[in-house]
Structure 1
Amino acid sequence: MEVILYILGGVLAFFIVTPIFIRLKTSFKKGKPVPELPSKYAKAVETGKPTVFYFYSDNCAACKPMTPIIDKYKKKSRNVFKIDARKEFSVAQKFGVMGTPSTVLVKDGVIAEFLVGPQPEEKISAFL
C-alpha cells in the first residue's frame, strides 16, 4: 500500500512540476536573439517587422482552437509562420520548443515573447 502512495505521489509531482519547468525554461528565451534559421524564416526576421512563429502538431488537441486564428493572420501577413513541429523539428529545436502549441513573437531580431499553450486572438493581433 505504501509503495502505491509513493508511485501516485511521484506521478502527481511529475504532472505538477513539468508545466512549471516548461514555462520557466521558455521565459529565459525572452530578450534573446533569434537563432539561426532557414532562409525562408530568416528573411522575415531580418525585416525587423513583428514576426510570429506558431508551432503546432496535427495530433495536438490544444492547437485546434488556435490554428484557425493563426491561419487568418497568415493570410494577412508574410511574417506569420505556421510550423508543424514534427515536420520541421530542427526549427522547433532551435527555438527550444518543448510542446505544442507554442508561439514565438519576434521583433527586431529578438524574441519578444515565448508563449506556451493556446493564446487569445487579441494577444496575436496586438503584437502584429
Structure 2
Amino acid sequence: MASEKVLTFTDDNFEAAVLQSEIPVLVDFWATWCAPCKAIAPLIDGIAEEYEGKIKVGKVNVDESPGMPGKYGVRGIPTVILIKDGKVVDQVVGAVPKAQLEALIKKAL
C-alpha cells in the first residue's frame, strides 16, 4: 500500500504541484502493469517518509497522464526525475537501489 506521503501528480496539477514547488520534487513515472515500478514502490514510499519536509515525493501514472511523460522524454518506466525550481536536476531509469535514489536527492538538497 502506498504511503499517504506520496502525492499523485497528473497532467492537470503538475505545473502547480511540481514546477512551482518551493522544495525539490521527486517524481516517479510508473504504470500499474509495470513490474519494476512495483519493485521500487516501497523505496519511493520510504523516501517520502524519510525526507518529509525536505522534498516532495509523487507519482505520475503514465497511462492516466500521458502529457508529462512526453514532455520530459520518458521512454521507459520506472523513470524517476528530480525537479528543483521548475527544472530537471537529474533522473534515473529502471528499478534502481535506494542508494542511487538518495544520491539523486542529495544533488538538490
Return the TM-score normalized by structure 1: 0.60
Q: Does 1:67 align with 2:74?
A: no
Per mean C-alpha deviation after superposition, the further-off stretch among 107-116 and 51-60 is 107-116
Superposed displacement of residue 65, structure 1:
1.5
* 1:99 paired residue number: 76
Question: Which SS does the other structure have where 2:20 is aligned?
Answer: helix
Q: Which ranges of structure 2 fall in alignment gaps of 5 or more residues?
A: 1-13
Range 77-86 or range 97-106, more displaced: 77-86
Indicate the structure with greater strand content.
2
How do residues 1-128 of structure 1 correspond to structure 2 at under 5 angstroms? 37-44=14-21, 47=22, 49-75=23-49, 76-77=52-53, 79-126=56-103, 127-128=105-106
Residue-by-residue CA offset, 1:50-73 (whole Å, 9 max, x unaligned): 321110111001112211111222
Q: Percent identity?
A: 27
Judged with a 3 Å threshold, the aligned counterparts in structure 2 of structure 1 residues 100 and 68 are, in CA distance, closer, same or farther, namely: same
Q: For residue 67 of structure 1, what is the amino acid of its counterpart?
A: A
- Between Structure 1 and Structure 2, how many residues are aligned? 89
Q: Deviations over 1:78-110 (max 9, x none)?
A: 511111111111111111111210011223433
1:23 match = none
In structure 2, what is the Cα distance between the partners aligned to 1:79 and 1:95? Answer: 18
Q: CA-to-partner distance for each residue in 1:5-47, whole Å, 9 max, x for gaps?
A: xxxxxxxxxxxxxxxxxxxxxxxxxxxxxxxx43122232xx2
| Paired letter, 2:71 | K
